[in-house]
Structure 1
Amino acid sequence: MPVSVASAQAVPGQRTHSVDRAFLSMERRRPDVRWEAGGVAYLSGPPPSLADFRAYVGFRLSRLPLLTSRVEGGSRRPRWRPDAGFALDQHVHEAVADGPGGWEAALDSALNAPFAPGTYWGVWLVHGPPDTYAVCYRFHHACQDGAAAALTFRSLLGEGEPSGRPVPERGRPADLPRRVGAALGLTVRFMAGALVVRRRRPALPFVPTGERQLWRGRVRADTLRRIGAAHGGSGHDVHLAALAGALADWSERSGVALPRVTALVPFDARRPDEEQTWGNRCFALPLELPLQPPLEPSPARAAAPGRPQGLADGHLPLWRLEHVVASTRKLRGGVWRQAIQDLVRFMPARPTEWYMRGMLSPRVTDVMATSMPLADRGSLGDTQVTGTALLPLVVPGHLFAVGLSFFGGWAEVSFVADRALPLGESLPELWERAVGDLEQAAHM
């Protein structure tokens, strides 16, 4: 089955990566599942016409040559090939607002519109109120991961700045035995975790409609980074701690019991020389979100340096942050980052698919949680990008997917879920409030 794909460094005939093949295999197994992700850019100014927008995208595709390619060769030896039948009008569309509430309806239609037959990516020009519009980009996950999609954003709307993603230093030959040992150790650890963590498939607290909806919130990016740095973590750690706080509040308001929530966190595993590589170079790690502290913490944790005392006195937000930072500390180190990079690079497709299917299962994880630096600024002609939203993969059986995009001076959170999710519209505000609680607790 041909698949429209992209890779800025790949050449015709280059083999696909094992993660690409894993997603292709999962798509064949579950054709009813929408294995897609994407993003939205919000712009201020008069929108172009559809004809002008198509001309603009067509011109920019010269920077993204394999967006006009596809995968051929079956499931055993698939390779990137130029798509001789590529048609721009099958990939570039528009959604027009009509009447009161039309802006939201137009965006909803862009979020839920099927891809044109034979295509696996699409971009929608979404018309809004006067001097306001959006660009919605969606793609099949066999084509790209989040880091590659961020490169799409910078190529179409950005101004050429690098992604700012963390990458390990180039390895030396003398490091090879240590790297092999670390990669094998992680393989055993993650494979065992995919089996041990499994539990009864949780029942969703709603009947899915099949229609997705997007809710957004934002805080200053420096706020997240400042709180994270003060506690030995990152802005993404603060995001996850705030997500835990928001979920605890959402559970109480909605009446949905959440005895445990495990987030699936994507991990960019590109090598330093793969900055412009498209396709999938990602791994996925489960992380249990600390909604509530244990009733009786162990003596070791109670005596841990820096552990906030008196959780009932307002230190619960910092306890959540401490829990997340402790869980992600090794991932920020060069040894684990290099080991995951090697694991993704050399693991064959079948074990990769087995692992990804296990981690995506609602028996193991409950939400998808990702973050991505996008750009410092963006524009389309004379109009300027004023905001962004990630559209992470929404896995059947998960509560929702949440993405954090860093654009300009803002950290913008987006929750994507089935529209039947109870009180889903409250999640961004609860997340913003949880960030505020962390900021206040950090100054106590």
Structure 2
Amino acid sequence: MTRRPLGTDGCLPPVLRMGMADLAYRLATHGRPLPVVFVFAFGGRAPSLDAVRARVAERAHRIPALRYRIAPDRPGFRRVDRIAVEQHVHEVWLPEDADDAEAGRLMLTLPVNPDSRPRWDVWLVHGPTGGYSLCYRSDHTVQDGVGAAHTARALLADHPEGGPAAYRAARPTARGLVGALGDAVGGFRAPTPKPAIDGASSGRITLCRTLTPLARLRAIGRVHGGTVNDVYLTALSHAVHTWHMKATGTPHPPLPVAVPMSVRGPGEECAPGNRMVTARLLLPCDEPSPRVAFARVVAATSHLRASRRRDAVRLLLSATPRALGARLGTRMVNGDVVAGPASSVNFGAALVHQGAASRSAAVFSGLAAGIRFLTTLTSQHDAACLTVVHDETLASADELPDLWLAALLELERA
């Protein structure tokens, strides 16, 4: 059944209860903001700050996710009745030596709005040699990546329709329930060896990225019998394999990652809160052949789909007391159990803002809970962007985007 969108009747509840995933993020970050960021890159002349603020002022009061701040006295969200746009929309100029990933790095380090205001902002980032970025940023306790995609489109796009597909609930299978229970129990196992990633977190993070045509990933998937997501994960697996072999001369064991899966249904596109679950997946980084690695990835992701693991985890969590489920969530996604999230978001048609179409889009978040590494694949129109966020102590992790592209080339030649 389709839920009626929050605020359709013209009013929003003064207080909303935090969901289980929201509370898990709050516990994992000890209440500190964890930025989730969407960066849209444009060529040409930038709009004025006043023009961007005018668009935000026109739209923001109609978007539920932007109307709530974290309540200081309870695990919930409290409505705000006035949005001071000048406190949420800003601009900045990048230094002359900035590369194309600098806007994203900046978004991970700039302070987030204080608790007295909703934790979101928009930045107009001017490039050093022309071009600009529009960046939408929220707090992961308040919003997941798919929610951020819908909110960014609703807030900034000339024509806000479209965005990631809505989740349609289905009945989980017995295999799916067993797998979901296994992931939950696995959160209490001994730390999983991840030699390329393990180590103490410094608290200093950075990112690197690369672009490739989306049609390229689709073509590889067709040839080898998998999806774009399978291509992304296989190339990531082989990139880590090559990265570790180069550093140590030894194979890397299978790498556990957390695969986020949206459960944001119709009518919930711009609702506040996280509507997502995760599944644990082993990337075959021990496999030297990209073709064999692809087959192993396809087998694993096909099992997740066929067993309806997403529905099983959703059902399991809905039957679990909220506080217990939140603590369980922090056990399932932390640096002892997984290397980090490996997520993908298909934004759909390019964001068009004041007549200009963005050339690429990238969504990513900061790091928490002992995680030192995460990757995202963001698809927009005809471009796919791989983003790697990592702790600065993983100094050679900036090689991974090029190694990922090299793995795609090996798959094309296989």
- Verify same fold: TM over 0.5: yes
Residue 251 of structure 1 aligns with which residue? Answer: 244
1:278-427 alignment, distance < 5 Å: 278-293=272-287, 316-333=289-306, 335-427=308-400
Give 1:251 shift.
Answer: 1.6
Pair 215,346 (structure 1): closer, same or farther in 2 beyond 3 Å: same
1:45-444 alignment, distance < 5 Å: 45-72=44-71, 74-75=73-74, 78=76, 80-84=77-81, 86-101=83-98, 108-118=105-115, 119=117, 120-158=119-157, 159-165=159-165, 167-168=167-168, 179=172, 185-196=178-189, 198-199=191-192, 210-255=203-248, 258-293=252-287, 316-333=289-306, 335-441=308-414
- In the alignment, the residues of structure 2 paired with residue 239 and residue 362 of structure 1 have an alpha-carbon distance, to the nearest angstrom, of 22
8 Å CA contact 1:400, 1:415 repeated in 2: yes
- In the alignment, the residues of structure 1 paired with residue 99 and residue 185 of structure 2 have an alpha-carbon distance, to the nearest angstrom, of 49
8 Å CA contact 2:254, 2:286 repeated in 1: no
1:20-62: CA deviations, max 9, x gaps?
22222333xx35x653321211011212232332222222214
Partner secondary structure for residue 325 of structure 1? helix
Residue 25 of structure 1 aligns with which residue? Answer: 27
Pair 347,186 (structure 1): closer, same or farther in 2 beyond 3 Å: farther
Pair 410,17 (structure 1): closer, same or farther in 2 beyond 3 Å: same
Q: In percent, how many aligned pairs have the same letter?
A: 29
Letter paired with 1:93: H
Q: Structure 1: give runs of 5+ residues left out of the alignment.
A: 1-5, 294-310
8 Å CA contact 1:43, 1:386 repeated in 2: yes
Give 1:401 shift.
Answer: 1.3
Partner secondary structure for residue 187 of structure 2? helix
Letter paired with 2:186: G
- In the alignment, the residues of structure 2 paired with residue 103 and residue 201 of structure 1 have an alpha-carbon distance, to the nearest angstrom, of 30
- In the alignment, the residues of structure 1 paired with residue 366 and residue 204 of structure 2 have an alpha-carbon distance, to the nearest angstrom, of 14
Letter paired with 1:414: T
Give 1:180 shift.
Answer: 9.1
8 Å CA contact 1:241, 1:324 repeated in 2: yes
Letter paired with 1:165: A
Count of residue pairs the alignment pairs up = 403
Pair 350,184 (structure 1): closer, same or farther in 2 beyond 3 Å: farther
8 Å CA contact 2:96, 2:129 repeated in 1: no
Residue 11 of structure 1 aligns with which residue? Answer: 12
- In the alignment, the residues of structure 2 paired with residue 207 and residue 185 of structure 1 have an alpha-carbon distance, to the nearest angstrom, of 33
Residue 308 of structure 1 aligns with which residue? Answer: none
Give 1:108 shift.
Answer: 3.5
Letter paired with 1:60: R
Give 1:437 shift.
Answer: 1.1
1:262-289: CA deviations, max 9, x gaps?
1111111234554454421111112111
Q: Comparing 82-91 with 50-59, which one deviates more in the overlay?
A: 82-91
What do you get for the CA RMSD once the two structures are aligned? 3.1
Partner secondary structure for residue 295 of structure 2? helix
Pair 53,194 (structure 1): closer, same or farther in 2 beyond 3 Å: same
- In the alignment, the residues of structure 1 paired with residue 300 and residue 402 of structure 2 have an alpha-carbon distance, to the nearest angstrom, of 26
Larger radius of gyration: 1
Pair 225,98 (structure 1): closer, same or farther in 2 beyond 3 Å: closer
Residue 40 of structure 1 aligns with which residue? Answer: 39
Pair 437,94 (structure 1): closer, same or farther in 2 beyond 3 Å: same
- In the alignment, the residues of structure 1 paired with residue 101 and residue 174 of structure 2 have an alpha-carbon distance, to the nearest angstrom, of 51
8 Å CA contact 2:196, 2:244 repeated in 1: no
- In the alignment, the residues of structure 1 paired with residue 310 and residue 333 of structure 2 have an alpha-carbon distance, to the nearest angstrom, of 21
